[in-house]
Amino acid sequence: MALDICVKVAVGAPDVLGDCPFSQRVLLTLEEKKLPYKTHLINVSDKPQWFLDISPEGKVPVVKLDGKWVADSDVIVGLLEEKYPEPSLKTPPEFASVGSKIFGAFVTFLKSKDANDGSEKALVDELEALENHLKTHSGPFVAGEKITAVDLSLAPKLYHLEVALGHYKNWSVPESLTSVRNYAKALFSRESFENTKAKKEIVVAGWESKVNA
């Protein structure tokens, strides 16, 4: 039986998957575990009442598990791992926080209006930390040969970083960070990623209000 999941709809396109990286993380988990699912696209700026009834905070993603709607991608991914342990996507605890500060640093840099505020360097520092991890551990993924939850969390964030910074700042991951670039390529080329990613123009549109705030 297919699992019901509510995810963000694209801005201005009612039938198209939106650009929420947390929604994509859960979709990637479902794809990698080969679990059938049915997506319900939610307009987050005009939420339908039935959705607010199941998700009072109005947040996506939410997934129906054992008859209950569950919010928060961290919680959902943990529950999916417990309920459907094969194939395992469990990340060894020592690797669970690798890359965890990249997304915050990316958002700060994207919104920055001052080239000298240190936000670009802060992002590069986080990417260099990921580079060092990938160089000093056998890959291609964070925890080794197999993809795990930490990779599925990072993949959408690195995609947003690439698309949004490329568009709004004409910026890309430094050439010197070859391991990070290869890692992103490996993630983006997976079938699960192709099946769940938002189109580039939708990612760009999704960040517009943040950039121009």
Q: Which residues are annotated as a binding site for glutathione?
A: 8, 19, 47, 60, 73, 160, 207
Instruction: Say which of 6, 20, 130, 149 is annotated catalytic.
Output: 20
For residue 40, the cross-strand partners are 6
CA distance 71 to 78: 12
Contact between residue 196 and residue 61 where contact means Cβ atoms under 8 Å apart: no
CA distance 143 to 19: 26
Beta bridge partners of 5: 39, 63
Q: What residues contact residue 172 under an 8 Å CB cut-off, 6+ apart? A: 162, 165, 166
How many Å apart are CA 213 and CA 122, to the nearest integer?
21
6 is catalytic: no
Residues identified as active-site: 20
